[in-house]
A and B are shown apart, each in its own frame.
Chain A
Amino acid sequence: MSECVIPTLTSNEVVASKSVLPAGWKADLKDLKALDLTLPTLELLRRSTSRLPQDVIDALVKGRDAEEEGSRAFNTLNDMVRNIILADGHVTPLCQDTGTIIVWVRHPYGLSQRAAKQQIRAAVAEATKRSWLRPNCVEALSGKNTGTNMDPFHEGHPAVHFEEWDKPEVEIAVMQKGGGCENVGAQYRLPDAALGAGRDIKGVRKCIIDAVVKAQGQGCSPGILGVAIGGDRVSSYEKSKELILRKLGTQNPDPKMDAFEKEITNDLNTLGIGPMGYGGNTTVLGVMAEEMYRHPASFYVSISYMCWSSRRGSITLKTNGEVSFD
């Protein structure tokens, strides 16, 4: 069980051959009113549920190789790599908890957000029907499952965020946020007397350490943290989640935050929690932090914890009709 599994995924050609987009499918951005996002979104979900981003795979492999060969931490990370290969090959969900579906659409002037939302909802319902997504949307009190991933009361799930931008392209990004890791997210209000955390970067650091220790293996470590410093309760949490869309190993544009991220990542990996909380050197794969505005009276630190199976991806529809995935 202890040999190093090499994470070889299916080639881009094979992935393209399984696409739900018909061969030669082109997006017509000249007529935004007629643009239908259903199929591109469905294809994005097919990929995000079954193929882990390369930067996440690389980080898991790096973590495994830093563990003692044959240790439980090493074997667990190896099993994670095995799972990545299987899900990709079978085009089946990496994890049975296919999460809350969060979508961000960035588009030029002229796209109907109401129409786009209905198309995205149709794609999520279809992905559920195809067993790419588990029906994860239930009535809060009764627990009754709609079976379709559609919000039983309003149109809150799938959660769709829109932003109009200056570019001519349309970009759809998706995150599948599992419930186990969502449950170990945390929001702190500084100063925090119990932690001895003040209103400064040292205080922020204490909050992060505390959240990771409280999470143990329950958020499926090694985790990826989004940390928003400031904001109000809502904007802070929202930002912390968005930050998880950033690729591991990329630089934070704020040099102070970049240095902080690297330092806190190293510190967290000395906690000894390890993969799944079994003990080991790989407790987190990365931390993404961002400083926000705040009200003078409030100082929030919001931490979103993403499991090791960080399912995210984006599709860009270009003016020449081409589509690209990232």
Chain B
Amino acid sequence: MIRLTTPITEDQIRQLKVGDEVLLNGRVVLSRDMGHKYMKEQKPEWLKPILENMVIYHCGPVVKKHEDGHYSFVAAGPTTSIREEPYQADVIETYKVRGVIGKGGMGKKTSEGLQKTGAVYLHATGGAGSLLAERCKRVVDVKMLEEFGSPEAFWIIEVEDFPLVVTMDSHGGSLHEIVAQQSQERAKALMA
């Protein structure tokens, strides 16, 4: 088990390999469909200091607003990452992001982006909304809440021992590609 705390250096990222189990600590920024489209098309400057050497989490949480105005996460598992495939590599490069958390894996373009900038794709267990919300310790801030709505906003949070597996590394390795290839071969045999 490897413990990592954000911000993360390129050196640390380059050491990670597919299959490594990671416990992530520190600040993480949530973003999904609307956020990624916005980042690629508008490249907002204000996000640069927030995202540099940080980790993006593909997640649209269930959020509770408390009476004193502060927020907490009630359920916060990963959403399917492949929808961000057209945007992810550019976002990683523009904002020098070191890691992307999601589920289901991503494609070739993202893999190339990970290699070029020095970043990894970290897989969290999909559907484990309660389990993962317990590891989201604090909501630090939220951006674009009004514009995007709660599931799509940039929530900035602090996580503690957030359990992840490296499924795409910065050297071109991808567990998703391996499983896809093997299952396609097996499917061919089943259909023969």
* A interface residues, Cβ below 8 angstroms from B: 72, 76, 79-80, 82-83, 86-87, 90, 92-98, 131, 133-136, 138, 143-145, 147, 178-180, 183, 195-196, 205-206, 209-210, 213, 216-218, 220, 267, 270-274, 276-279, 307-309
Contact = CB atoms under 8 A, between A and B. Distances in A.
Given A83-B127, A143-B148, A217-B103, A93 B176 contact: no
A179 B83 CA distance: 12
Interface stretch (B7-15, B60-68, B89-97, B112-120): B60-68
A216 B104 contact: yes
A276 B62 CA distance: 21
A138 B149 contact: yes
B29 to A, nearest CB: 16
Nearest to A87: B130
A101 B128 CA distance: 19
A227 B31 CA distance: 34
Interface of B: 33-34, 59-64, 74-77, 79-80, 82, 103-105, 123, 125-131, 133-134, 148-152, 163, 165, 167, 175-176, 178-180, 182-184, 186-187, 190-191
Given A217-B176, A272-B186, A274-B179, 14 more contacts: A79-B163, A82-B131, A83-B129, A83-B130, A87-B75, A93-B74, A93-B75, A95-B75, A97-B79, A180-B79, A267-B190, A272-B179, A273-B183, A276-B104
B129 A93 contact: yes
A89 B149 CA distance: 28
B86 to A, nearest CB: 15
Given A93-B62, A93-B75, A96-B77, A220 B126 contact: yes
Contacts of A143: 33-34, 148-149, 152
Contacts of B61: 96, 134
Contacts of B129: 83, 87, 92-97
Nearest to B76: A96
A144 B149 contact: yes
Contacts of B80: 179-180, 183, 218
Contacts of B167: 278
Given A96-B60, A131-B62, A180 B191 contact: no
A112 B182 CA distance: 54
B105 to A, nearest CB: 7
A224 to B, nearest CB: 12
B191 A279 contact: no
Given A135-B149, A136-B151, A278-B175, A83 B131 contact: yes
Contact of A145 (B75, B150, B176): B150
Contact of B103 (A134, A220, A267): A220
Contact of A86 (B63, B64, B126, B131): B131
Contacts of A94: 75, 127, 129-130
Contact of A134 (B151, B179, B190): B151
